[in-house]
Structure 1
Amino acid sequence: MTQRLTLRRPDDWHLHLRDGAMLEGVLPETARHFARAIVMPNLVPPVVTGDDARAYRDRILAALPDGMDFTPLMTLYLTETTDPADVRAAHADGLVTAVKLYPAGATTNSASGVRDLGRVRGVLETMAEIGLPLCIHGEVTTPEVDIFDREQVFLETVLDPLRRDLPDLKVTLEHITTSHGIDYVADAPGDIAGTITTHHLMINRNHMLVGGIRPHYYCLPVAKRSTHQLALRRAATSGNPRFFLGTDSAPHVDAAKETACGCAGVFSATNTLSCLAHVFEEEDALDRLEGFASLHGPARYGLAPNTATITLEKRGTPVPVPAKIETGAGPVTVFDPGHPLHWHVIA
């Protein structure tokens, strides 16, 4: 039985760091294990222009503790007034790695997102021309669609028509939560890939709702049935290079989660690697963890894998995961997988 596992240092291809005191508090939790991360642009106000991205990158690097090696990969928030020339220039400067599409109202700080794809046609055409990836929050927001069906309807009514219309557009469907999303990414022709989160591999909607509502499991896209969770596990552990890790680690202070109208987001940066080793061991696929966490993502984004390594060791004693991370903005609860984790990051 494998008791020690050494991987190329992993990257996180979907991360929320927020700003200010929250950024300073949570950044070390990612930088401790991850070499790079695609940083989400949904601040208030959002990161819309190249200048915004440069300023945010500088704030992230200023918040990085001495001795930690971490590279933020910046994204632009797509709005209906985004300037294609600015996107082209930011890409040419090596400033941005992707552009993020939020359907307006789909998730935290998405009010500035896109309501009419026709209004961003020029930006999307420019991105297809220069090879800049579009990262997509894949849910419709029309009120008549049930929240558990939003991803499936998005695939049918938005994503598939978009990709047929712009076949050269490089698309990453982020935080897939359904078997429909998995099947689409696995089988669709063209340039598409998908990220899978730590928490969606470990929980389904029963964990969030049975026996009482657990607000720290509430996220968007919301966790689905166990059948969808199993499909995510099969995809993540399959070795298919179209699937890779994007934690969607999204910190909110406890006061914003534990309330009558709580925020969506799961904070998993602290214990993601231990969680992933647990899942991949359960699926008899530890030999494929490096591909999912460390290799497929860089290949997708045209980057070399990290040369540094990280080692995990399975021990009889559980990993001492803190219940909360104390930040200057307030306490943030760490994702609780519901059982002990025994894969320790040791080097």
Structure 2
Amino acid sequence: PRFRMRQGKGYRFTRSSAFPDRPKGRLEKAGEFFVTWGGVGYCLFIVVSVTYFARFIACPGVFGDEYCVDLNLLATFLVTEIMANLGAFLYFRSENRVEHWQRHSVVASLCRTIPGDEETGGSSEMDEEGEEREKNRGKFCVSCNRYAPIRSHHCPLCNVCVLRKDHHCYITGACVGLGNQRYFIIFLFWATIGCAVGARYIASYMDQEITPWYPFGWVYFIAPVSVGRWLLGYCSLWVVWTTMVFSFACTSALGAFAFFVTQVFYTLHGYTMFEYHSLSIREAYEGDGKSVGERLRLVFGPYWLIHFIFPAFWLKQKLTPEIADNLFRVRSKLL
């Protein structure tokens, strides 16, 4: 329960101390833990199982140990890239908060004078009337008990208002926002390559050890089919496990590739996935950045190609005055 509390010229919702939050039960806590970390556990399972099977079982069994030396180096590189970007994605999720970007020195200096203030005679120094006008620019988040920009969205799972929110990813266990989107995109890039390489070697192993894939043997490579055959006594449990790892690798590669393509598409258009498919936002706001270069620097920072080799966390995103105005204003044009 909440009540209204008068503060200056505006109203602020706050939670009454007479009605404290209900303590969470064990089942609810377990559910939150599973939602947050279950997807991360799935990622770790895919990385470990596909890497181990391809490197230590499939490749030596089909091509021999000498051929697999290069694969070992490639697997080490791919696993390092995947885990480094996943770790950076989770670590920098705190930079998705609206407060982080409001405290950011570049954003703060750009937002002291917003183009819309020229019409109302506002100045860079906020007076009481200016504060009231700034409150009216945004929306009030009841959960966070604060004002937030229109282009921020509250995530009930992360329990924060995320600036430029794309979506909440259950696989990686956090929201994709302005602070960590670059690590998410690069994670998808290397996950696609890693799962595709692993699936290729596992497919060669099944083609030789289980059944030739052509013309119809590939049907037995599908995990649900192999489970049915195992229940009927037509194959061993080892075959089921092999096809499951192969199916996980294929579906993960396809899923990561699809998300990577869509993320690049939305980034090049200056929107997030949520905003691109929201007609009201697309009508009210132009895409962030005047050029492809500005949009890439907004997400990746300068020298954006470096991130595909190493997560260069020290290279911060570049916000132009137009982009900062676009992020923190309520409307960029009259409707």
- TM-score when scaled to structure 1? 0.24
Structure (1/2) with the larger helix percentage: 2
- TM-score when scaled to structure 2? 0.24
Structure (1/2) with the larger strand percentage: 1
